[in-house]
Amino acid sequence: MHNKRLFWQIFLAALLIIVSSIAVASWYGTYVIRSFHYQEMQSDIEDRAILLRPHINQLLSTDKSHLQEFCRETGRAATTRITVIAGDGTVLADSNEDPSQMDRHDSRPEIQTAATGKVGAILRFSKTLGQNMLYVAIPLQTDKPQNGVLRLSVSSTALDAVFSSLRKKLLFGLFLIALIAAGVSYYQARRISNPLEEMKRGAARLAEGDTEHPIIVNDENIPREMAELSQSLNNMAGQVNGRIKIISQQRNELEAVFSSMTEGVLAIGLDHTIIHLNRAAADLFHINHQAVQGLVFEGIIRNRVLQKFVYDSLRGDTTVIEDLSLLLSGQRVTLRAHAHPLNDGENKRMGSLIVLNNQTRINQLENMRQDFVANVSHELKTPITAIRGYVETLLDGAMENSEDAEKFLKIIHRQGSRLDAIVDDLLSLARIENTAKENKMVLKQEYLCPILEAAVQTCSVAAELKKIRITIQCTSDIKATVNQPMLEQAIINLLTNAVTCSPENSEIKLEVTKEEHPDHDETIRISIQDHGPGISSEHQKRIFERFYRCDKARSRAHGGTGLGLAIVKHIASCHNGTVEIISQPGHGALFSLILPTTQE
C-alpha cells in the first residue's frame, strides 16, 4: 500500500471538507429559499383562486356563456392562466386555450387532489405553453368538491431565472472560497507537516548513526505534542549517543586488547560461523580478520586437525587443551590450543573461544638451545678429554722420558689454545648479539680499503705458510657506514676460512664493488673467492649455523671452532646486511658480505 505524505493528507482532506461543506450549505440554502418562494407563490395563487371562486360559481349557475370570456379577461389582467374543470374532467373554460380543443384533466394530479376537497399544487412542465408552470387547484364547492375544480397557474420562468442567476453567483463564490480555503489549508498543512518532516529527517540521521546534531524545530507555535515529541527524540538521540560512545570505547578497548595479544584468539559460534578473529590469528592463517567475520569457519580455515579440535570443543562443555601440529603455507607449525565454552549475557552457550599459542618459535629455540649445548659440550669435551688423557699419561711416568713429555705438553698446549679459541668465539658471539640487541653498536662512515688491508695483514702469516697469495681489488674512494672492528673481524674470519680450505700455491681474491638497485639504496659487496674443495648445496643452507661443519674431521685437524661463519652472519645482521655463498664441489667457494652504504 502506497502511503501519502502527511502534508497532502491534511491539505486535501481540509480542502475537501471545506469545499464540500460550502457546497452542501449552498445547496441546502438554495433549496430552502426556492421552497420558500414556491410556497409563497403557491399561497398567492391559492388566494387568487379563492377570490375568483364565487364569480366562477355564479357564472356557472346563471350564465355559462360568459364564463370563457370572464376567464380570458381576468387571466390576462392578472397574468394568470385560469382553467375551470367539470367534475368529470371536462374543461369548461380556459384563459389561454379553447376549451373544446383541450383534453380532459381528470388525470392531472392537482385536479385529483382538489376533487378530494384539498388544495392541489404542483410544479411541472406544460406541453401546451412549453414552459414550467406552477399549478394550484381548489374545489369549486367546498361541500361538494367532486362537482368541479378551479385551477390557476403561473409561469415559474422568472423565478427559475432568478434562481439560475443565484446559482451562478453561488458557484462563483464557492470557487473563490475554495481558492481561499486552498491557501489556508496549504498554510496550515505545511505548518503542521514541516515540523514532522524535520523530525523525520532527524530520526533518519539518528538511524544512520548521526547522533551529534539535535532535531531543531523552528516554529514556536507548533502543537505541544509535536514539541514534546521533538524533545523526546532529542533526549533519545542524546542517550543513544552516550551509549554508542560507551560501547565504541569498550569495543575499541577490547579490540586493542585482542590486537595486542600475541596469542591468536578465535571465537566460533554454535553454527560454526566466525564471531571474532584477532590480528594474531589472522596473521597465523594469512587471512583478513575483518572480512571473515560471519563466515563459516570450515570455508576459511581448511585444516582438518584444527577443524576437529573446534568440533570437539563445540560439542563439549569443558575447557580443552591440546597441542596441534599444523601444516600452514608449507611450514610445520606447532600450536598449543585452549578451547573454552563461550556464553552470552544470559549464560546461554553461544559457541567456543579458541586461544592459539604458537609454540613453533619456542620449540625451535629450545631445539637450538639443545643443539647449542650439545655442540658446545662436544666441542669442549674433545680438547678437555685430550688434555686429561695426556696429563694422566704424564703422571703415570711419561715425564721420565723427556721427548714424550715434551710431545705431550705440546699437544696439551695446542688443545688449551683450541679451548681458548672456542671460548673467545663464544664470547664474541655473545658480545655481538648483546650489542645488536641493545643498539649499542657505533656505526661511522669509513673507507673500506684500510679495513681490508688490516684484515689481510692479520691473515698474511697463515697464508705465507701455505704460499697463498691474497689480492685486493678495491678503489680508495669506496666508503660505507660500518663498525670498523666488527667488519674487520668478519673479513678476517672469511679470509681465515679461505686460507684454511685453499690448497698451497693458490690465490684468494678479495674484491669490493658497488651495486645500484632501482628499488632501494646502493649496497657494497665484499667478495672473497678461494680455490678450495668447495661446498655442496646441502651444506650451504646450514654453513652459517654455530658449530656446523661440512667435514668435521678436516675442520678439527685445522683447529677450527665451527663459530667463525656464525660470527660473520651476526656481524652482517648488525650492519643490516646479509652474507651469501656460491660454491660447487671441486670449484672453490665465493663468500659475499653485502652491506648498505648508509644506515637509517
Angle between helices 6-62 and 67-78 (to 10 degrees): 140
Contact of 27 with 167, CB cutoff 8 Å: no
**Enclosing domain of residue 506:** 444-596
Both 559 and 417 in one domain: the answer is no
Which residue, 128, 121, 131, 143, is CA-closest to 48?
121
Instruction: Say which residue, 448 or 419, is predicted with more confidence.
Output: 448
| Residues comprising the chain, all counted | 600
Q: How far apart are the first and last CA of the chain?
A: 70
Residue 353's beta-bridge partner residues? 267, 340
Cell of 199: 523530525
Number of domains in the chain: 4
The answer to whether residue 172 is domain-embedded is no
- Residue type at 265 in one-letter notation: V
Judge residue 266's burial from the number of C-beta atoms within 10 Å of its C-beta, 0-12 exposed, 13-18 middle, 19 or more buried: buried
pLDDT at 287: 78
Residue 110 has pLDDT above 60, yes or no: yes
Q: What is the pLDDT of residue 376?
A: 62
Q: What is the DSSP string of 501-559?
A: HSPTT-EEEEEEEEE--SSS--EEEEEEE--SS---HHHHTTTTSTT--SSHHHHHHTT
User: Over 80: is that where the pLDDT of 119 sits?
Assistant: yes
Sign of CA dihedral 492, 494, 499, 501: positive
CA 172, CA 168: separation in Å to the nearest integer?
Answer: 6
Looking at the domain assignment, is residue 63 inside a domain? yes
Residues 469-498: what's their mean pLDDT? 85
Residue 81 maps to which CATH number?
A: 3.30.450.20
* C-alpha cell, 595: 652491506
Q: What per-residue confidence (pLDDT) applies to 440? A: 63
Distances (CA, A) of 9 to 6, 15, 21, 196, 534: 5, 10, 18, 13, 96
Q: Is residue 176 one of the residues assigned to a domain?
A: no
Nearest to 52 by CA among 93, 24, 91: 93
Q: What contacts 426, CB < 8 A, 6 or more positions away?
A: 376, 563
Q: Is the dihedral of CA 382, 388, 392, 394 positive or negative?
A: positive
Same domain, yes or no: 322 and 393: no
| CATH code, domain with 583 | 3.30.565.10
Would you state the pLDDT for residue 372?
62
Based on the domain organization, do 468 and 349 belong to the same domain?
no
The vertex-513 CA angle with 509 and 516, nearest 5°, equals: 155
pLDDT at 374: 59
Q: What is the rounded average pLDDT of the residues 293-311?
A: 79
SS3 state of residue 21 = helix
User: 110 versus 366: which is more confidently predicted?
Assistant: 110
Task: Answer yes or no: is pLDDT of 444 > 60.
Answer: yes
Name which of 20-34, 64-78, 91-105, 575-589 the model is least confident about.
Answer: 20-34
Number of other residues whose CB lies within 10 A of the CB of residue 100: 9
252 vs 50 pLDDT, higher one: 50
**How much is the average pLDDT of 377-405?**
72
The mean per-residue pLDDT over the stretch 230-245 comes to 74
Look at residue 502 and tell me whether its pLDDT is greater than 60.
Answer: yes
The pairing of beta strand 91-94 with beta strand 331-343: unpaired
Q: How far is the C-alpha of 489 from the C-alpha of 508, rounded, in Å?
A: 17
Instruction: Give the three-state DSSP class for 218.
Output: coil
Q: Does the pLDDT of residue 79 top 60, yes or no?
A: yes
Q: What is the structure's pLDDT at 341?
A: 87
CATH (domain of 419): 1.10.287.130
Q: What pLDDT score was predicted for residue 1?
A: 46
**Residue 223 above 50 pLDDT?**
yes
In a domain, 1, yes or no: no
Region 166-178: mean pLDDT is 76
In this predicted structure, the answer to whether residue 559 has a pLDDT above a threshold of 60 is: no
Give the end of a domain, one of 358, 379, 394: 358
Residue 352 shares a structural domain with residue 269? yes
Indicate whether 132 belongs to any domain.
Answer: yes
Q: Residue 127 is placed in which grid cell?
A: 406541453
Confidence of residue 474 (pLDDT cuts 50, 70, 90): confident
Q: Can you tell me the distance from the alpha carbon of 468 to that of 504, in angstroms, rounded to the nearest whole number?
A: 6
Residue 552 has pLDDT above 60, yes or no: no
Longest dimension (CA), the chain: 206
The SS3 assignment for 417 reads helix
The answer to whether residues 377 and 294 belong to one domain is no
Clarify whether residues 36 and 80 are in a common domain: yes
Q: Is the pLDDT of residue 55 over 50?
A: yes
* Residue 557 pLDDT grade (very low, low, confident, very high; cuts 50, 70, 90): very low
pLDDT surpasses 60 at 85: yes
**pLDDT of residue 370 exceeding 80:** no
| One-letter identity of residue 374 | A
Flag whether pLDDT at 122 surpasses 80. Answer: yes
**Confidence bin at 551 (pLDDT 50/70/90):** low
Task: Out of 402, 437, 472, pick the residue that ends a domain.
Answer: 437
- What integer pLDDT is reported at residue 56 of this predicted model? 84
Does residue 417 carry a pLDDT above 60?
yes
Chosen domain end from 358, 377, 412? 358
360, pLDDT greater than 60: yes
The β-bridge partners of 324 are 335
Based on the domain organization, do 457 and 547 belong to the same domain?
yes
Pair 453, 591 in one domain: yes
Question: Is residue 353 located within the same domain as residue 370?
Answer: no
* pLDDT, position 493: 82
Lowest-confidence pick of 194-208, 294-308, 561-575: 194-208
Of the ranges 321-330, 370-379, 435-444, the best mean pLDDT one: 321-330
Q: Is residue 577 part of a domain?
A: yes
Nearest-angstrom CA–CA distance, 25 and 21:
6
CA distance 342 to 349: 6
Using DSSP's 3-state secondary structure scheme, residue 597 falls into coil
Q: Give me the torsion for CA of 361, 363, 368, 372, rounded to 10°.
A: 140
CA 58 to chain centre: 108
Q: Considering the chain, what is the average pLDDT of its residues?
A: 77
What pLDDT does residue 553 have?
Answer: 46
Are residues 513 and 452 located together in one domain of the fold?
A: yes
Distance CA 322, CA 336 (A): 6
Q: 421 and 306 in one domain?
A: no
Is position 397 within any domain?
A: yes
The percentage of the chain sitting over the pLDDT mark of 90, rounded to a whole number, equals 0
578 located within any domain: yes
Three-state DSSP state, 445? strand
pTM, two decimal places: 0.41
Residues 399 and 308 in one domain: no
* Per-residue confidence (pLDDT) for residue 428, from 0 to 100: 67
C-alpha cell of residue 54:
364565487
